[in-house]
Structure 1
Amino acid sequence: MISRLNLNQERVLALAAVVQAAALVHQVASTGQADESASRCSLASLFVTNPDSSEDVFGGAEAINNLRLGLVTLKSIISQDQITGAQEITRYVLGLAHLQGKLRKRPEMLNDISKQLSHSQRQVDLYELVHPNVFASVAETYSSTLSSFHFRIQVTGNPTYLQQPMNTNRVRSYLLAGIRATTLWRQVGGRKWQLVLFKNSYQRELDALLSQLSH
């Protein structure tokens, strides 16, 4: 893949996408709402099948701005700012990394996910990206594949919101987007140990990406 970012910046961008998906899960679970721009970016990434670069997965030239929520949240977490939901978001990120590791060993499941997302793409073509039917279709993909693993990501929040079917579908869709981002993160050399050493390894690259955000 051709990228205008260096390899470490690609890793940070991909990790920010994982964090963004986790932050969206937390938003829906705790408030019943989600950042619309971040939601569109994360959901759209599921339907980018032949990207020329890491940025293309998240909107090409607009990738950094589209991942604003993930980049800002990642900065807050590694700076140990007391942001709301930091503990839950971090737990979701680690859970996504663990789940993606299991998925890598199941090529037939990866194939099933790809086929089902092709069906979801038809829903996008019929309606629009963030239509309830699209969320329902993507959520079904998550439920029929990744939910079969013994390990499950436990989503916590306000039961009033979590019990609403639309929110359940959104949470599962964001989790699948998180798996997509974790897959990309691994493809550009991301590893679990880097999560522990992230602050020392990639602080400069994160700051460089944050400086490119439009205000």
Structure 2
Amino acid sequence: MINQLSLNQQRVLALAGIIQAATLVNQVAITGQADTQASHCALSSLFVANPERTEDVFGGEQAIHSLRLGLITLKSIMNQEQSSGIKDITRYVLGLIHLQSKLSKQPQMLNEISTQLNHSQRQVDLYELGHANVLASVAETYSSTLSSFNFRIQVTGNPTYLQQPMNTNRVRAYLLAGIRATTLWRQLGGRKWHLIVFKNSLQRELDVLLNQLSH
């Protein structure tokens, strides 16, 4: 049973959602594979339009466990690990925050994304969440909207994997899930400068959530 979350814990949860999406992008780019539970959480979040609670976006009562990968990776980032994977994930996260800030000023594009995701929902109903048709539909939403900005998130990794159409679609779908989580984080009052100014508070709340993973 998930404990009642404070506002700061909700922000950490949303931040973990951004980081989890970025980590999935990195996994596909490097290995051609992605964590199954984390992938389901990221893709599912795209179809939660009117959540009652923050955790509902990430699986409700199972939100903390569904965001396990994101929470653990956030801990690595906070500990300033210097691996190439962490550096790339951090770069993707900062890119998502920047891209979402541009999107937030484009209400027409936001409406278009919502409309296209409604179409993708019908694909989910026909097939299943991770089906190639669903991934292609969600990826097309990213391509036809967010890819129109001058700023692009440059994904680096193994070209053998990145050039496969299925993986291209997965990367774009995860990036869109990252935008979804970033939008939620901002709605909760999250700002980029908080990551520096409130670092100690962020670490404390993160440790509380990580502790719940062991229960």
TM-score range, shorter chain: over 0.9
Instruction: Find the counterpart in structure 2 of residue 78 from structure 1.
Output: 78
Determine helix, strand or coil for the equivalent of 1:85. Answer: helix
Deviation at 1:25, TM superposition (A): 0.2
> Which residue is 1:65 aligned to?
65
Q: Find the counterpart in structure 2 of residue 17 from structure 1.
A: 17
Cross-structure match for 2:53: 53
The secondary structure found in structure 2 opposite 1:17 is: helix
Structure 1's consecutive aligned runs of 4 or more residues displaced over 4 angstroms after TM superposition are none
- What is the Cα deviation at residue 84 of structure 1? 5.1
Task: Give the conservation status (yes or no) of the 8 Å contact 1:100–1:179.
Answer: yes
Any conservation in 1 of the 2:195–2:202 contact (CA below 8 Å)? no
Segments of structure 2 that go 5 or more residues without pairing to the other structure are none
Matched-pair identity in %: 76
Q: Which amino acid aligns with 2:41?
A: C
User: 1:80 deviation in Å?
Assistant: 1.8
Deviation, 1:4, is: 2.1
Q: Distance in 1 between matches of 2:13 and 2:189?
A: 12
1:101 corresponds in structure 2 to: 101
Contact 2:15 2:181 in 1 (8 A): yes
Conserved? CA contact 1:64–1:213, under 8 Å:
yes
Residues 30 and 151 of structure 1: CA distance in aligned 2, closer, same or farther (over 3 Å): same
Q: Which residue of 1 aligns with 2:120?
A: 120
CA offsets per residue over residues 89-139 of structure 1, 9 Å max, x none? 000000000000000000000000000000000000000011111000000
* Paired position in structure 2 for 1:32: 32
Question: Unpaired runs of 5+ in structure 1?
Answer: none
Query: What is the CA RMSD across the aligned residues, in angstroms?
Result: 1.2
Cα 1:198/1:32, change in 2 over 3 Å: farther
